[in-house]
Amino acid sequence: ATDGLGEAMRAVDGEVREVDALVMALPAHQNADRLLQRIGVARRRILALWQLLPGKPDAVRELWRCATGSSEQIEELSHRLADVCDHLASLAALAAHCEMVLARAHANYLAQLSLNATRLNMRVRVFSNRWLVLVALMLPMHFITLAFGQNIVVPWNTHEEDRGRLAVAWLGIMGCLLGAFSLALLLARYLRFV
């Protein structure tokens, strides 16, 4: 019975080592679902083996205690039963080690996911902050130009025949707006807002 447990435990140990290597080698976005499924399957297998192990050493000890016969038979039986107990203890230690490796691999994988989410969040935040600064710089210009579209008296618009002065005034206002925007943009770049 312990040989079958040993084979199953070796198979689980190989899978655990493979999962641990994949967690360290793969970026967090590749095969995310499959990797988590493999961790879960390996943990279920370890749990199933853990559930089979607890009663075995007690049964072996009980056999050892109840052994009767000649001294050579008892000595050989006790030697074999001691080997079985050692084998069961090593299986339990291997199962505990595999569970620890899987827990570490799972924690490392979740840490990679968290780091990737934080990096993405920082990129989005920088992008939105830059656009917010640009919009904040353009908003006053919108209100100033909005005044020219209303039904109010606009400077330099009193004489229809003086189109030259009107063009100079319009270019002056637009130049001041663009100059103010450029200065504000340079200041924002100097302060590293954009």
Tell me: pLDDT of 166 over 60. yes
Say whether pLDDT at 158 is over 70. Answer: no
Quote the CA–CA distance of 138 and 132 in Å, as a whole number.
10
Least confident of 8-12, 26-30, 129-133: 26-30
In this prediction, residue 149 carries a pLDDT of 66
pLDDT tens profile 27-78? 655 666 788 888 888 888 888 888 887 777 777 777 777 776 677 777 887 7
Does residue 3 surpass a pLDDT of 70?
no
Pairs from 42-45 (Cβ < 8 Å, separation ≥ 24):
42/12, 42/15, 42/16, 42/98, 42/102, 43/99, 43/102, 45/8, 45/12, 45/15
- Within a 13 Å sphere around the CA of 28, how many CA atoms are in the beta-carbon half? 16
Q: Tell me, what's the pLDDT at 73?
A: 76
Amino acid 120: pLDDT: 94
How high is the pLDDT of residue 194? 72
Q: Say what the pLDDT of residue 121 is.
A: 96
What is the distance of C-alpha 184 from the center of its chain?
38
